[in-house]
A and B are shown apart, each in its own frame.
Chain A
Amino acid sequence: MDMRSNVDLVDRRPALVDPHEDFQAITKRVAAPIEWKTPIGWWLFFIPSVLLAASYGGSVAYLVWEGTGIWGINNPVFWGWAIVNFVFWVGIGHAGTLISAVLFLFRQKWRTSINRFSEAMTLFAVACALSFPTIHVGRIWLLYWVAPVPNSMLAWPNFRSPLLWDVFAVSIYGSVSLLFWYVGLIPDLATMRDRVTSKLGKFAYGIFALGWRGSTRHWRHYEVAYMLLAGLATPLVLSVHSVVSFDFAVSQLPGWHTTIFPPYFVAGAIFSGFGMVLTLMLIARVIFKMENIVTMHHIDNMAKVVLLTGSIVGYAYAMEFFVAWYSGSQYELFAFINRATGPYAGAYWTMVTCNVVIPQILWFQKMRHNIVLLFIISIFVNIGMWFERYVIVITLTRDFLPSSWGYYSPTFWDVSCFLGSFGLFFTLFCLFVRFLPMIAMAEVKTVVPEADPHPEEAATGGAH
Chain B
Amino acid sequence: MSNKTFGVLAEFDTPASVFEACEKVRDAKFSRWDSHTPFPVHGLEFAMGMGRSRLPIFVFACGISGASGAMLLQWWTSAVDYPMIIAAKPFFSWQAFIPVTFEAMVLFSAVSAVLGMLFLNRLPRWHHPLLTSERFKSASDHKFFISIEASDPQFDPEKTPEFLHSLGATYVELVED
Contacts and interface: CB of A to CB of B under 8 A. Distances in A.
Interface of A: 22-24, 27, 148, 154-160, 162, 164-165, 168-169, 172, 175-176, 179-180, 182-183, 187, 190-191, 193-195, 206-207, 210-225, 228-229, 232-233, 235-236, 239, 243, 246, 441-443, 445-446, 450-455
Contacts of A159: 74, 77-78, 96-97, 100
Nearest to B76: A156
A346 B103 CA distance: 38
Interface in B83-135: 84, 86-87, 89, 93, 96-97, 99-100, 102-104, 106-107, 109-111, 113-114, 116-118, 120-121, 123-128, 130-131
A229 B110 contact: yes
A70 B18 CA distance: 65
Task: Kindly list the 3 A-B residue pairs having the minimum CB-CB distance in the complex, ordered from nearest.
Answer: A23-B142, A210-B124, A225-B117
Contacts of A168: 99-100, 103-104
Output the residue of B36, B110, B118, B136 with the most chain A CB within 10 A: B110
Nearest to A26: B142
B16 interface: yes
A214 B18 CA distance: 13
A156 B81 contact: yes
Contact of A210 (B59, B87, B111, B118): B118
Nearest to B111: A179
A228 B35 contact: no
Contacts of A162: 99
Output the residue of A194, A225, A442 with the most chain B CB within 10 A: A225
A233 B56 CA distance: 15
Interface residues of B, number: 72
B40 A222 contact: yes
Contacts of A169: 99, 103
A170 to B, nearest CB: 9
B42 interface: yes
Output the residue of A195, A216, A219, A446 with the most chain B CB within 10 A: A216
18 contacts: A23-B141, A159-B97, A179-B113, A207-B126, A210-B124, A210-B126, A211-B123, A211-B124, A212-B123, A213-B36, A214-B139, A221-B55, A222-B40, A224-B52, A225-B116, A233-B106, A452-B16, A453-B16
Interface in B27-76: 34-45, 47-48, 50, 52-53, 55-56, 59, 73-74
Given A160-B97, A446-B40, 10 more contacts: A27-B38, A159-B96, A172-B107, A216-B35, A217-B45, A219-B44, A222-B121, A224-B55, A228-B113, A453-B43
Given A169-B103, A452-B15, A191 B35 contact: no
Contacts of B117: 183, 221-222, 224-225
B137 A218 contact: no
Nearest to B70: A168
Contact of B142 (A27, A216, A453): A27
Contacts of A207: 126
A443 B44 CA distance: 16
A210 B109 contact: no
How would you classify the secondary structure of chain A's contact residues: helix, strand, loop or mixed? Answer: helix
Contacts of B18: 453
A179 B118 CA distance: 12
Nearest to A208: B124
Contacts of A194: 137-141
Contact of A232 (B43, B110, B118): B110
Given A187-B39, A220-B53, A221-B55, A213 B116 contact: no
Given A172-B106, A239-B103, A179 B126 contact: no
Contacts of B56: 224, 228
A219 B37 contact: yes
A446 B131 contact: no
B36 A225 contact: no
B40 A223 contact: yes
Nearest to B46: A220
Given A221-B53, A224-B55, A229-B113, A213 B128 contact: yes
A179 B84 CA distance: 37
Output the residue of A22, A176, A235 with the most chain B CB within 10 A: A176
A452 B42 contact: yes
A216 B99 contact: no
A207 B52 CA distance: 29
Nearest to A180: B110
Contacts of A214: 36-38, 139-140, 145
A171 to B, nearest CB: 9
A156 B81 CA distance: 9
Nearest to A219: B40
A219 B86 contact: no
A215 B42 CA distance: 13
B126 to A, nearest CB: 4
Given A27-B142, A228-B59, A235-B106, A160 B96 contact: yes
Contact of B126 (A148, A211, A243): A211
A175 B125 CA distance: 24
